[in-house]
Amino acid sequence: MEIGSSALSAMNQLTMTNSRTNSASGISAMERKLENASDEKVKQACSDFEAIFIKQMLDSMRKTVEKTSLLGGGMAEDIFEDMIYDEYAKKMSKTGDFGIKDMLYKQLSTNSSDILYK
């Protein structure tokens, strides 16, 4: 398993911070950095989940539309159509305001802070 360069950089910064100061302020700074890194991962996971949810919704909607023989159909068209709906879902998740990722993030960040500080 490979560790990304950003993860290595964050680990190096945390190590340097830890070696420079062993005081309570140094530990709290490390905790903030870890929390910020974790926070970004949670935001990305919420955004990805919203895109998957939108994709499922679009697939259900697409099934209700009658297919015509105008474009010829076939497996290639089905694959292309599925790929384009994946991209639609990602774009809608980034630009739309569905609110799913915000609700998920709020719930997950509330639970994680409760767990961390108990």
Q: Tell me the pLDDT tens digit for each residue of 23-54.
A: 456 566 656 666 666 788 888 888 899 999 99
Residue linked to tokens 């998740």: 93
pTM for the predicted model, two decimal places: 0.59
Q: Tell me the pLDDT tens digit for each residue of 61-70.
A: 988 988 777 7
CA dist 100 to 43, 52, 70, 79, Å? 11, 11, 37, 27
Q: Which of 2, 105, 118, 10 is nearest to 48 (CA)?
A: 105
Separation of alpha carbons 31 and 11, rounded Å: 12
Asked if 48 and 108 touch (Cβ cutoff 8 Å), the reply is: no
